[in-house]
Chains A and B, each alone.
Chain A
Amino acid sequence: MTVLGVLVAQNIAFGVIAAIMVFAALRLVTTRNVVHAALFLVVVLGGVAALFLLMGAEFVGITQILVYIGAVVVLFLFGIMLTRTRIGNEEGTDHPRRLPAVLAAALVATITIYAVVTGFGDAELPADTRTTTAEVADSIFSTYIVPFEAVSVLLLAALIGAIVIARRN
């Protein structure tokens, strides 16, 4: 395939993924069925992983699938189960007055999109943006060793905290 062909393919892939993601995200925040919401979340997270791969960030993409779809969504499903939120359509998942939320979201979208459009215009990503897992590993274990350690401790603290909060006395 020519360079142009690759570019066209990439853009088509992006368009399809983006459309699916936006649709899923919208359904995620509007559906009344909590389990469906979790499944729409899977779609969005998978889309994000696909975007990572599209940008050549293989390790982050794989981690996204492993951690988010593998662990976080399962955690959510457990959460739904344990809090006995009724499965199936139900009333009371949303606030009765949603207009302020719509306005706030619209404001956020307007300002951010305005900022990136004026700020980056037609800036192109480099043709080859692939990075290898080895590079990521090198960076984490040299430049970012301290944040890495800090995040490890944070995870441990969250683990202990979650257990302490959730246990029955």
Chain B
Amino acid sequence: MLLNQFLILSAVLFAIGVYGVLARRNGVLVLMSIELILNAVNINLVAFGSYVSSISGEVFALFIITVAAAEVGVGLAILLLLYRNRQSVDLSEADLMKG
């Protein structure tokens, strides 16, 4: 197998994730797109790990899975709070930080 087939697939998934993060308005869908991005990164890590025959890639993929789980937990909690306060998870409405 070529290294590049994994890398290119990962790049495509990453770009789709970026599209999702930018184009979606529903906060839950944005979080899902972020998962897509993180998974693309994981593919890269494991692929490079295999390429250089090092275990480190896998270990870091595991760390990223952990961090992603934490991220989803906190992210959904924030969305829940947002929903409770504004009855909506539409991110384009949450612009209190406007300058």
Residue positions of A touching B, CB distance < 8 A: 7, 10-11, 14, 18, 21-22, 25-26, 28-29, 34, 37-38, 41, 44-45, 48, 51-52, 54-57, 59-60, 63-64, 67-68, 71-72, 75-76, 78-80, 82-85, 92-95, 98, 100-102, 104-106, 108-109, 112-113, 116-117, 120-126, 129, 131, 135-136, 139-140, 143-144, 147-148, 151, 154-155, 157-159, 161-163, 165-166, 168
Contact = CB atoms under 8 A, between A and B. Distances in A.
Given A60-B62, A72-B69, A28 B2 contact: no
* Overall SS of chain A's interface: helix
Contacts of B1: 7, 10-11, 14, 54, 124-125
A56 B15 CA distance: 26
A17 to B, nearest CB: 9
B58 A136 contact: yes
Interface residues of B, number: 69
Given A29-B24, A154-B66, 9 more contacts: A22-B12, A29-B16, A59-B58, A79-B28, A116-B4, A125-B51, A126-B53, A144-B63, A166-B81
